[in-house]
Amino acid sequence: MQGCSTMTDSNHVRADDRGTGGILVTGADGEMGHALLAALSHRFLNKREIIAVDLRELTDDRDAHVSASYTGDISDPALAERIALAHDISEVWHLAALLSTRGERVPELALRVNVMGSAQMLKLAADSATRRGRPVKFLFPSTIAIYGVPTLEAKRAAGRVNEDQCMEPITMYGVNKRAVEELGRYYGKHYRQLSTDRLECTVDFRAIRFPGIISAETIPTGGTSDYGPEMFHAAAQGKAYTCFVRPDARIPFMTMPDAVRSLMELAQAPRESLTRETYNVSAFAPSAEEIAAKVREFFPKSNVRYVPTPERQRIVDSWPEDCDDSAARRDWGWKPEHDFDSAFSQYLVPSIRARYGV
Ligand code: SER
């Protein structure tokens, strides 16, 4: 990864529009970044600065969604300093991360990007809050990978886990995300607790533990829930798919539009209605074979065979069957738009038919 960074200005924001501060999005070129930038820009472009950061340069269509973009490594302090000097940041949407399969292949890199990069962004948020004299919101996608069940029997017995159960992650990614949840809680409530001039709330940290996410537009890379989206995209393209988990493997999933909407809704919720920093969200929890059967309903020629990879199977087996999202429903009115059937019939299949012309 490079330490240097470049900055480009694409959409000019007038000085008098900057009162509410800029929105910094890391991992802007990633799978969720792609969908989130479109949603944020739909809402805020030309009203607030939207500043994107990614290791890769943004493609032109994504660049159109932002006011400024930086290319560089978020764990590089020089990059954070450069952004902080150039922009008045009032919100950070910190998406950049290495997912669970990739994290197991390069654990130290995952630790650096997922934890040290997040610490860097939390510090940027805290410094910005100190300058502004009010809290900076910090939105963070956490994951079901922070959970860990030791055996399949324990997984079945646990059923839908709430936010305080089964927290013994077995992946570097899960451990990293859990660590950042704790760092966020610290920056939110206790940062500089021995200083007399500290703000009551420096970083307004809000996190969602996402299930596997399925998008019709993009395919994830480096995750262990990737068999869901891969199976669907392969069928839509008329390709056979070899699934790396058993047919009975079960974890929760959600559509990308629901995932983005959940983050946007959590961001808008009044702080006083939130009883925790980190929330589960849930939508549907099919087995791999149930996904394959659903895909076959729409693409009858789809061809899935199962050749489980023991290492990746073990990771999926350690994640819960489903999550209890009653706290999110109660505190900020969370409700998924798509259940298992409508995810396919109303979102995935129509969008993918338009995309691949099938
Ligand atoms: N989608 C993530 C992964 O597979 C889990 O949150 O790593």
Query: How do the pLDDT tens digits run along the chain, 358 residues long?
Result: 333 344 444 444 444 444 589 999 999 999 999 999 999 999 998 889 999 999 999 876 766 789 999 999 999 999 999 999 999 999 999 999 999 999 999 999 999 999 999 999 999 999 999 999 999 999 999 999 999 999 999 999 999 999 999 999 999 999 999 999 999 999 999 999 998 888 777 999 999 999 999 999 999 999 999 999 999 999 999 999 999 999 999 999 999 999 999 999 999 999 999 999 999 999 999 999 999 999 999 999 999 999 999 999 999 999 999 999 999 999 999 999 999 999 999 999 999 998 887 7
Cβ 174 vs Cβ 100: under 8 Å: yes
Residue nearest to atom 6 of ligand 1 (CA): 143
- What tokens does 103 get? 């994290």
Is 174:108 a contact under the CB 8 Å cutoff? Answer: no
Please give the number of the atom of ligand 1 that sits closest to the Cα of 101.
7
Whole-model pTM: value is 0.93
Sign of torsion over alpha carbons 163, 255, 265, 94:
positive
**What contacts 227, CB < 8 A, 6 or more positions away?**
243, 244, 245, 249, 288, 291
Respond yes or no: is residue 173 known to be catalytic.
yes
Largest Cα–Cα distance of the chain, in whole Å? 67
Mutate to test the pocket of ligand 1, among 32, 100, 208 (most ligand atoms within 8 A of CB): 100
Atom of ligand 1 nearest to the CA of 222: 7
Q: Which two tokens stand for residue 353?
A: 């038919």
Q: Tell me how far apart the alpha carbons of residues 25 and 208 are, in angstroms, rounded to a whole number.
A: 16
Pick from 9, 72, 11, 2: nearest CA to 44: 11
